[in-house]
């Protein structure tokens, strides 16, 4: 998910309640502290085993427990957090034990909210996490100085230890943690110079590789709780239908292992003593569906189809609500020597993440609720689960597991996730219920990437150079769908990748025509960029062709005023062995050509060249070169993996996928 709105970084302010001296551990959190807060005061009354709202706990054995505000889903955020905090704390990343943090205000670092997405996790927490580690290190050094009765300035650290070089003494962090927890939290800390970094900017091996490779990692789909039963569902073919009758209910109740059959909003469910039995039974149900009269959510008409919605988008007229304007595009188009127009469209796309959605719901004897589920926003799910269960949010405990891939799939989409069904079933049967959606049900209720149409119109001068560009994105963006849009304002998630391009075209207008989408739409890896950058860059190539310019050379020319982008484009040209458009004959006898494109998603800059050929009607991609300028780098190995996976997913979505 990209960020269409400003997300301020939470300033580093140590939390009084997040500094605990219990059990010989130094526990450090971030929040708004009372004046003069001291760790020992916060520790008063803390019982062994009490869960605390804090990020960092230095244990007696000198290992570091870090509660990550961000969810790990394969993107490497747990490793990045260990590198960033460990750099300032002076602890090797391998000494970190990382777990997902529970819901709580201390973990809401992104503009007063908490979610994992939009490439924001490192970007929005980097400074806070560095200062967190530096504060803990300063307290450990001060504790050692007091124990040895030496000046603080005479001490230094090596990974996991405080060193007094003059006397050749050292103390492990774990031996100092209890004393450090009694000290005031420093209001100001010094951070390492980049030249002294041990781990930030280095290809530190990911902390989760061994556990994932050996099957130790437990995803939500793997979890079990005592006394649970299993459930499977069959959804209606579209939104807006509820079960009216089940023709063979008695027959299905008699199937092995079946315990109960349930009617849910938009679905039927079977509870059984194993998931396979539940699935076999629910697939056997012969359900008659009827239009619902109670649904508050958007409904899908019986006549809805992908082809029909594409036609609706294509027919939408006008220039839409302006999102980006520069100069006078309309007047410049009227004076242009040549006008070029093109329309593009992109289909719905499924997330198809490796792990299908699941949820475990358990009501405690006191009526409170525990929920285990894959998610990207624990507090959002906590609030909505409370709504479904008829509880207050403080009565709902969310357990956030490692994600088996997500790409935006596990945001809060009420009709596209099983947690509400699991809650209703657990309440009905009086037992913990584990619900897994089959892959078929997952595709039927995925929050798909929005279908989109984009219209472009550009004017060229007598030299074939672009002097004006108008573009309009037609469709609905996921931000306005799920968070509400402001009247009269375009949705940034619908136009990103068309707006904000770096090319020097003096007169521009980018707008959006909002058209409601009856499908469940959601955030999909890179959101609008995944289609809009393709639209824009392809149209740019058409402009180059009409104006009789080489597409690579024209980009360089229009980036002359943007050294960062120009250098990046030159870099990818060098990576490819020098730009050549083609067609040209390759060593294997195939005739090949190259394409080039640029994108500016989420604060990073990307330039790509692909070399392709045709084998009949099949496209063969021989090579892809990518140059990335992400700014400051925490782990280059993770960035390399991200780029490789992005290329694979991009090729798959462009050539093979459609809903």
Pair (407, 507) in one structural domain: no
What is the chain's alpha carbon radius of gyration, rounded to the nearest angstrom? 28
Interatomic CA distance for residues 485 and 479, integer angstroms: 7
- 10 domain-assigned: no
Q: Are residues 62 and 155 in the same domain?
A: yes
Looking at residue 371, what is its pLDDT? 98
According to DSSP H, which parts of 226-274 are helical? Answer: 249-253
Q: Give the pLDDT confidence score for residue 109 in this predicted structure.
A: 87
The tokens describing 11, both together, are 């300033």
Ranges of beta strands (E only) in 195-283 are 229-235, 241-246, 258-264, 267-272
CA distance 646 to 582: 25
In DSSP terms, 360 is beta-bridged to: 372, 434
Distance CA 13, CA 4 (A): 27
- Strand 156-158 relative to strand 96-100, pairing: unpaired
Answer yes or no: is 527 within a domain. Answer: yes
Say what the pLDDT of residue 297 is.
63
**Residue 95 phi, psi dihedral angles, 5° rounding:** -90, 0
Among 403, 429, 444, the domain boundary falls at: 444
Last residue in a domain, options 502, 517, 544? 544
List, in sequence order, every residue forming a beta bridge with 68; answer none if it has no partner.
Answer: 100
CB contact set of 344 (below 8 Å; sequence gap of 6+): 453, 454, 456, 534, 535, 538, 539
Q: For position 246, what pLDDT does the model report? A: 98
17: in domain = no
Within-domain flag for 9: no
Q: Is 312:515 a contact under the CB 8 Å cutoff?
A: yes
The owner of tokens 């996921």 is: 478
- Find all residues with CB under 8 Å of 208, minimum gap 6, and list them: 72, 78, 79, 217, 402
Q: Same domain for 54 and 90?
A: yes
Pair 70, 161 in one domain: yes
pTM, rounded to two decimals: 0.91
In a domain, 376, yes or no: yes
Domain limits at 329? 306-349+448-544
Contact between 22 and 50 under an 8 Å Cβ cutoff? The reply is yes
d(Cα 491, Cα 482) in Å, to the nearest integer? 11
Placement of tokens 């000290």 in the chain:
183
Q: 11 lies in a domain? A: no
**pLDDT value, residue 41:** 30
Residues in the chain, total? 659
**Cα distance between residue 259 and residue 278, in whole Å:** 9
Neighbours of 213 (CB within 10 A): 9
Question: For the segment 330-374, what is each residue's pLDDT rounded down to a tens digit?
Answer: 999 999 999 999 999 999 999 999 999 999 999 999 999 999 999
The beta-strand segments (E) located in 395-465 are 396-400, 433-436, 452-460
- One domain for residues 651 and 514: no
The residues pairing with 591 across neighbouring beta strands, listed in sequence order, are 585
Task: Tell whether 7 is covered by a domain.
Answer: no
Shared domain for 168 and 226, answered yes or no, is no
Residue 498 sits in the same domain as residue 646: no
- Between CA 177 and CA 175 the distance in angstroms is 6
Residues 391 and 436 in one domain: yes
Is residue 37 within 8 A of residue 531, CB to CB? The reply is no
- Domain final position from 211, 236, 266: 211
| pLDDT score of 13 | 46
Neighbours of 168 (CB within 10 A): 7
Q: Is there a single domain that holds both residue 559 and residue 629?
A: yes
Domain assignment of residue 636, yes or no: yes
- Please calculate the CA angle 352-595-497 and round it to the nearest 5 degrees: 55
197: domain CATH number?
3.30.365.10
Q: Cβ distance 586 to 605 under 8 Å?
A: no
The candidate with the shortest Cα–Cα distance to 180, out of 35, 23, 27, 41, is 27
Indicate whether 247 and 134 sit together in one domain. no
What pLDDT, in 10s, does the model give residues 464-498?
999 999 999 999 999 999 999 889 999 999 999 99
Give me the residues of the chain with pLDDT under 70, please. Answer: 1-24, 29-53, 294-297
Q: What is the pLDDT of residues 114-157, one digit of tens each?
A: 999 999 999 999 999 999 999 999 999 999 999 999 999 999 99
Which pLDDT does position 296 carry in this prediction? Answer: 64
Return the SS3 of 535.
Answer: helix
- Same domain membership, residue 254 and residue 367: yes
Q: How many domains does the chain have?
A: 4
CB neighbour class for 318 (10 Å; exposed up to 12, middle 13-18, buried from 19):
exposed
Do 329 and 364 sit in the same domain of this protein? no
Element containing residue 468 per DSSP (H, E): strand 466-475
């Amino acid at each position: 998910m990209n960020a269409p709105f400003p997300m301020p970084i939470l300033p580093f302010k140590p939390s009084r309640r997040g500094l605990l001296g219990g059990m010989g551990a130094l526990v450090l959190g971030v929040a708004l502290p009372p004046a003069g807060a001291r760790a020992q005061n916060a520790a008063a009354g803390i019982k062994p085993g009490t869960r605390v709202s804090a990020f960092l706990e230095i244990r007696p054995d000198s290992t570091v427990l870090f509660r990550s505000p961000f969810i790990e889903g394969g993107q490497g955020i747990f490793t990045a957090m260990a590198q960033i905090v460990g750099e300032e704390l002076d602890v090797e990343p391998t000494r970190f034990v990382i777990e997902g943090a529970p819901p709580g205000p201390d973990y809401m670092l992104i503009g007063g909210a908490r979610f994992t997405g939009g490439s924001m996790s490192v970007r929005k927490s980097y400074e806070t996490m560095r200062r967190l580690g530096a504060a803990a290190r300063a307290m450990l050094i001060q504790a050692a100085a007091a124990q040895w009765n030496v000046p603080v300035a005479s001490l230094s650290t090596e990974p996991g230890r405080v060193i007094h070089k003059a006397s050749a003494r050292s103390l492990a962090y774990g031996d100092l943690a209890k004393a450090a927890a009694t000290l005031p939290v420093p209001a100001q800390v010094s951070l390492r110079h980049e030249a002294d970094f041990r781990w930030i900017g280095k290809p530190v091996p990911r902390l989760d590789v061994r556990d994932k490779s050996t099957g130790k990692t437990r995803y939500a789909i793997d979890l079990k709780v005592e006394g649970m039963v299993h459930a499977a569902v069959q959804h209606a073919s579209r939104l807006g239908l509820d079960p009216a009758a089940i023709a063979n209910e008695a027959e299905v109740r008699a199937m092995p292992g079946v315990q109960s059959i349930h009617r849910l909003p938009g679905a039927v469910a079977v509870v059984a003593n194993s998931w396979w039995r539940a699935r076999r039974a629910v697939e056997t149900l012969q359900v008659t569906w009827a239009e619902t009269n109670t649904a508050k959510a958007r409904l899908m008409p019986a006549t809805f189809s992908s082809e029909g919605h594409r036609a609706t988008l294509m027919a939408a007229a006008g220039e839409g609500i302006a999102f980006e304007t520069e100069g006078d595009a309309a007047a410049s188009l009227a004076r242009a020597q040549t006008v070029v127009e093109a329309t593009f469209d992109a289909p719905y796309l499924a997330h198809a993440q490796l792990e299908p959605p699941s949820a475990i719901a358990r009501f405690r004897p006191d009526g409170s609720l525990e929920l285990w589920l894959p998610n990207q926003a624990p507090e959002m799910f906590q609030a909505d689960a409370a709504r479904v269960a008829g509880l207050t949010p403080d009565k709902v405990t969310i357990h956030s597991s490692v994600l088996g891939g997500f790409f935006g799939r596990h945001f809060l989409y009420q009709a596209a996730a099983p947690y509400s069904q699991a809650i209703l079933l657990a309440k009905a049967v009086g037992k913990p219920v584990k619900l897994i959606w089959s892959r078929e049900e997952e595709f039927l209720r995925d929050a798909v990437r929005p279908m989109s149409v984009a219209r472009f119109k550009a004017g060229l001068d007598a030299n074939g150079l672009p002097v004006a560009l108008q573009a309009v994105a037609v469709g609905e963006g996921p931000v306005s769908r799920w968070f509400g849009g402001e009247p009269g304002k375009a949705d940034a998630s619908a136009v990103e990748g068309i707006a904000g391009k770096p090319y020097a075209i003096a007169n521009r207008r980018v707008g959006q025509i909002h058209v409601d989408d009856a499908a469940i739409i959601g955030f999909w890896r890179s959101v609008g960029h995944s289609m809009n950058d393709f639209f824009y860059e392809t149209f740019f190539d058409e402009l180059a062709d009409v104006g009789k310019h080489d597409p690579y050379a024209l980009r360089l020319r229009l980036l002359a005023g943007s050294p960062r982008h120009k250098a990046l484009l030159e870099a990818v040209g060098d990576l490819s062995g020098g730009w050549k458009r083609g067609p040209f004959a390759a060593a294997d006898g195939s005739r090949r050509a190259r394409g080039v494109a640029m994108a500016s998603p989420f604060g990073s800059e990307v330039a790509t060249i692909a070399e392709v050929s045709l084998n009949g009607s099949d496209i063969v991609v021989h090579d892809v070169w990518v140059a990335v300028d992400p700014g400051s780098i925490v782990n280059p190995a993770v960035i390399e993996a991200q780029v490789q996976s992005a290329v694979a997913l991009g090729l798959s979505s462009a050539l093979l996928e459609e809903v």
